[in-house]
Amino acid sequence: MDINNKKAYHEYFIEATYTAGMVLRGTEIKSLRAGKASFNDAYCIFHRNELYIKNLHISEYAFGTHINHEPMQERKLLLTRRELNRLQTKIKEKGYTLVPLRIYLSEKGLAKIDIGLGKGKKVYDKRETIKGREQERDIKRKYGL
Q: What is the pLDDT of residues 88-120, one digit of tens each?
A: 998 888 888 899 999 999 899 889 999 999 888
Distance CA 103, CA 135 (A): 30
Please report the domains of the chain, with CATH numbers, ordered by start residue.
2-143 (2.40.280.10)
Query: pLDDT value at position 116?
Result: 92
Query: pLDDT value at position 37?
Result: 85
Closest residue by Cα to residue 45 from 56, 31, 37, 36 = 56
With a cut of 70, which residues of the chain have pLDDT below it?
65
DSSP letter at 101?
A: E
For residue 15, give every residue at least 6 positions away whose Cβ sits within 8 Å of its Cβ, in sequence order, or none: 116, 117, 118, 119
